[in-house]
Chain A
């Protein structure tokens, strides 16, 4: 059974860079889609972006200019960097895995609350 464990700084000031990492345990890293999703407190889900099965990145257009998603296959990890954060980036951030383009995210990390406040 695959397990996703995520970590990163939980409190940021405006203009700082959000950085989260998700480690994959108990399963293969290659051949899957690796996704980041966020949820502002009390609100709905928002797709941030993904790495596809061959390592290409696909980003939410509304975040693209500030966003980098990358992978370290040697460590079975993938990461999210979001520059120039504001209070609007305050959310629970989830990492997740999909088996392919169409099948949805079947495995999720535990979520990490990131708060942006001065």
Chain B
């Protein structure tokens, strides 16, 4: 199955912009889905498809893609955005695969 690679740790100053990337060959064909997970909680879907936000997700979260890389951007990061973020996609066989995860720290 395909692999999705993320930077392990990213930090951002309060109110600034941070981009979290996810790399993998399958992203050349399929969009990424992004999840936010806070300690002790189930993941929360924040972006799916071509930059679609579920109801209740702030518009400071946005998604984009280029080549084999998908990105999740948080514009004006808040303290509440400190969490682990996982990308997810389908491979050519239809199986789901998760990225390795990025821990975002808001300074």
B-facing mask of A81-118, CB < 8 A → 1, else 0? 00000000000001010000111111011110000000
A-facing mask of B36-73, CB < 8 A → 1, else 0? 01000011110011001010000000000000000000
CB of B42 within 8 A of CB of A47, answer: no
Q: A50-B96, A61-B1, A111-B42 are contacts. A106–B54 as well, Cβ < 8 Å?
A: yes
A44 in the interface (beta carbon within 8 A):
yes
Q: How far is the CA of A50 from the CA of B93 in the complex (A)?
A: 14
CB of B86 within 8 A of CB of A94, answer: no
Chain B residues, CB < 8 A from A105:
35, 43, 45
B33 in the interface (beta carbon within 8 A):
yes
CB of A44 within 8 A of CB of B42, answer: no
CB of A101 within 8 A of CB of B90, answer: yes
A46 in the interface (beta carbon within 8 A):
yes
B21 in the interface (beta carbon within 8 A):
no
Chain A residues, CB < 8 A from B48:
102-104
CB of B43 within 8 A of CB of A46, answer: no
A73 in the interface (beta carbon within 8 A):
no
Q: A44-B86, A47-B96, A103-B48 are contacts. A94–B101 as well, Cβ < 8 Å?
A: no
B88 in the interface (beta carbon within 8 A):
yes
Distance to closest chain A CB from B57 (angstroms): 10
Most chain A C-beta atoms within 10 Å of own C-beta, residue among B33, B49, B94, B95: B95
Closest 9 CB pairs of A and B: A104-B33, A47-B96, A108-B42, A104-B48, A45-B98, A44-B101, A104-B45, A103-B48, A106-B45
- A/B interface sample: 14 pairs, CB < 8 A: A37-B43, A44-B98, A44-B99, A45-B37, A45-B86, A62-B1, A94-B42, A96-B42, A102-B30, A103-B33, A105-B43, A108-B42, A108-B44, A110-B42
Q: Beyond A45-B43, A103-B48, list 18 extra A-B contacts (CB 8 Å).
A: A37-B98, A44-B100, A45-B35, A45-B86, A45-B101, A47-B95, A47-B98, A61-B93, A62-B1, A94-B43, A102-B30, A103-B33, A103-B52, A104-B48, A104-B88, A105-B43, A108-B42, A111-B42
